[in-house]
């Protein structure tokens, strides 16, 4: 994702140079470019942490965070996302689930006791699945 941010920065710098050479750059256009780079940086990484109470996810610098209570998790399993599920934060309607992913196709699927389904992208699905199941078993004791 860092590569994509670098490409975007070079592209915006090129556009800025072209527009500056032709006419003055409107402040609005510069603001849009800065905002686009900020969004790319904010969603460039997905950090997942597991403790005795929550499975927490955080995109980039923490602009978007979500916590799932370990007590409310009914099941967890490693899965492969289809390519057409895409990346980012998505809602999928068949099956109905939320997807949080930044790259690749490996993920874990968390099914809550309420029936809601969430998929969290990860490079290490087996380790994450094991960590969540370990915390779930601690709560059962």
**pLDDT one-digit tens code per residue, 49-82:** 999 999 999 998 888 899 999 999 999 999 999 9
Range of the domain at 33: 2-42
3-state SS, one letter per residue, for 35-94: HHHHHHHHCCCEEEEECCCEEEEEECCCCEEEEEEHHHEEEEEEEECCHHHCCEEEEEEC
Same domain, residue pair 31 and 93 = no
**pLDDT one-digit tens code per residue, 77-122:** 999 999 999 888 999 998 899 999 998 999 999 999 999 999 999 9
Instruction: Give the C-alpha distances (Å, rounded to integers) separating 13 from 62, 63, 92.
Output: 26, 25, 36
Same domain, residue pair 135 and 79 = yes
Instruction: List the structure tokens of 84.
Output: 């057409």
What is the count of structural domains for the chain? 2
pTM over 0.85: no
Q: Is residue 48 part of a domain?
A: no
């Amino acid at each position: 994702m860092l590569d994509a941010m670098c490409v975007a920065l070079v592209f915006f710098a090129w556009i800025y140079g072209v527009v500056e050479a032709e006419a003055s750059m409107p402040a609005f256009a510069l603001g849009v470019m800065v905002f686009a780079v900020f969004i790319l940086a904010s969603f460039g990484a997905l950090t997942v942490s597991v403790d005795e109470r929550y499975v927490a996810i955080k995109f980039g610098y923490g602009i978007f965070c979500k916590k799932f209570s370990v007590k409310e998790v009914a099941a967890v399993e490693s899965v492969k996302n289809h390519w057409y599920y895409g990346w980012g934060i998505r809602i999928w309607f068949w099956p109905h689930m939320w997807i949080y992913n930044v790259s690749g196709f490996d993920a874990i699927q968390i099914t809550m006791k309420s029936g809601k389904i969430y998929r969290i992208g990860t490079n290490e699905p087996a380790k994450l699945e094991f960590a969540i199941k370990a915390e779930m078993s601690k709560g059962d004791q």
